């Protein structure tokens, strides 16, 4: 009896640690997906629950129901949704007004996941290094496109079909560490409309304006939500299959994506006010269009930091790295375990 009771206590403790890591990882995932250039999958990887999360989705979509998988999915999704609903407006404002500060912090949070992935590898192979190089190169190309394609994005398309595609592509990217779902929403012209809809939903709920809440849900949340579910299910099953059949190479790619994500997060950039005649979202700016342009739609430009900014950026990056390292300490024995 005593051994059975001890086993139940151990399982309970393991579930509690898993829930804590899932809550932290889910919150960071929600926060990350509000910011173009930041990967939600990276945050789950840094929290040490990424392989479990992928496995849990693969199990659920193939009708295999396990308590720990359902628990982890529920905690991650609820935490991410709460973070998005609570912080959509705030994070958007912080990134627009204090981009270099936020990016410095996220660089640290991202790099903090590298030791976690390395521990999962348990010894690198040629396939690991090849995959890492490919992942890093892919993120380098994405960062290049982010800089050179920033001012030539097409304007937003309307309708549920485009919102479904945005949810599908954004969620697929969101699952991959190092790949920003928010950035792909920006490319598709759906980033600001979706975040604005989330902010409107929050305001409607606070004011108990149920007609407005229903309108936002029907017009935006439903098509985006269907796309998100389809994207997450498809990519998670593919990654689960790859992790079982080519674990070392797959983890190598994930490591490369993680390291390469930092390339696109160089912190010393800011929104640069455009001029009349510049092309933004496929439109040539006139005086009237320029007056109506929100700061969040400004193209970004790099700047030379002061000594104080360099020191503060380093401190923030170290703080982010330390935070991720602390998260990884919870249930450290379970990071590579599938049980």
Domain limits, the chain? 2-268+304-334
Place 215 in a pLDDT band, splitting at 50, 70 and 90.
Answer: confident
Cα gap 133→260, rounded to integer Å: 9
Q: Would you give the end-to-end CA distance of the chain in angstroms?
A: 23
**CA proximity to 296, closest of 143, 97, 152, 151:** 97
Specify the pLDDT at position 178.
58
Average pLDDT over residues 270-295: 74
Three-point CA angle 155, 161, 166, nearest 5° = 60
Specify the pLDDT at position 17.
78
pLDDT higher than threshold 90 for residue 160? no
Tens digits of residue pLDDT in 47-89: 778 888 888 888 888 888 888 889 988 999 899 888 888 877 7
Cα gap 2→20, rounded to integer Å: 27
Beta 300-302 vs 269-271: how paired, if at all? antiparallel
Dig out the tokens for 98 from the structure.
Answer: 């204090």
What are residue 270's DSSP bridge partners? Answer: 301
Place of tokens 């990276």: 42
pLDDT higher than threshold 60 for residue 149? no
Cα gap 116→118, rounded to integer Å: 5
Other CB atoms closer than 10 Å to residue 126's CB: what's the count?
Answer: 10
Cα gap 156→284, rounded to integer Å: 15
The model's pTM is 0.63
What are residue 280's DSSP bridge partners? Answer: 283
Mean of pLDDT over the chain: 77
Tens digits of residue pLDDT in 91-146: 767 777 788 888 888 788 778 778 877 877 888 889 999 999 998 998 788 777 66
Specify the pLDDT at position 269.
80
Specify the pLDDT at position 251.
86
Cα gap 66→52, rounded to integer Å: 12
Identify the residue with better confidence: 294 or 168. Answer: 168
Dig out the tokens for 224 from the structure.
Answer: 């985006």
What are residue 300's DSSP bridge partners? Answer: 271
Tens digits of residue pLDDT in 222-278: 888 888 888 888 888 888 788 888 888 988 988 887 788 777 778 888 777 888 877
Residue pair 316/105 in contact (Cβ under 8 Å)? The answer is yes
3-state class of 271 per DSSP?
Answer: strand
């Amino acid at each position: 009896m005593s051994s059975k009771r001890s086993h139940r206590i151990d399982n309970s403790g393991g579930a509690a640690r898993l829930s804590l890591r899932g809550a932290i990882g889910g919150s960071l995932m929600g926060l990350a997906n509000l910011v173009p250039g930041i990967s939600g999958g990276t945050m789950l990887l840094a929290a040490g629950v990424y392989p479990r999360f992928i496995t849990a989705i693969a199990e659920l979509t193939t009708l295999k129901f396990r308590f720990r998988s359902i628990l982890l999915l529920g905690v991650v999704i609820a935490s991410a949704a709460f973070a998005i609903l609570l912080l959509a407006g705030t994070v958007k404002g912080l990134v627009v007004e204090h981009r270099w500060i936020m990016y410095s912090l996220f660089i640290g949070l991202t790099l903090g996941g590298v030791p976690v992935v390395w521990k999962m590898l348990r010894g690198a192979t040629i396939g690991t290094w090849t995959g890492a190089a490919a992942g890093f190169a892919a993120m380098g190309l994405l960062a290049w496109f982010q800089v050179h394609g920033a001012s030539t994005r097409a304007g937003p398309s309307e309708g549920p079909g485009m919102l479904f595609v945005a949810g599908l592509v954004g969620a697929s990217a969101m699952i991959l560490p190092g790949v920003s779902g928010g950035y792909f929403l920006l490319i598709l012209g759906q980033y600001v409309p979706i975040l604005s809809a989330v902010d409107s939903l929050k305001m409607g709920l606070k004011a108990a304006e149920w007609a407005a809440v229903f309108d936002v849900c029907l017009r935006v949340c439903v098509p985006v939500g269907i796309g998100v579910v389809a994207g997450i299910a498809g990519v998670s099953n593919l990654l689960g299959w790859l992790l079982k059949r080519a674990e070392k190479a797959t983890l190598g790619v994930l490591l490369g994506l993680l390291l390469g994500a930092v390339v696109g997060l160089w912190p010393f950039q800011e929104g640069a006010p455009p001029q009349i005649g510049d092309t933004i979202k496929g439109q040539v700016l006139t005086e009237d269009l320029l007056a109506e342009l929100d700061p969040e739609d400004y193209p970004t430009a790099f700047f030379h930091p002061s000594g104080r900014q360099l020191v503060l950026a380093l401190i923030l990056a170290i703080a982010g790295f330390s935070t991720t390292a602390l998260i990884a300490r919870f249930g450290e024995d379970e990071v590579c375990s599938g049980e």
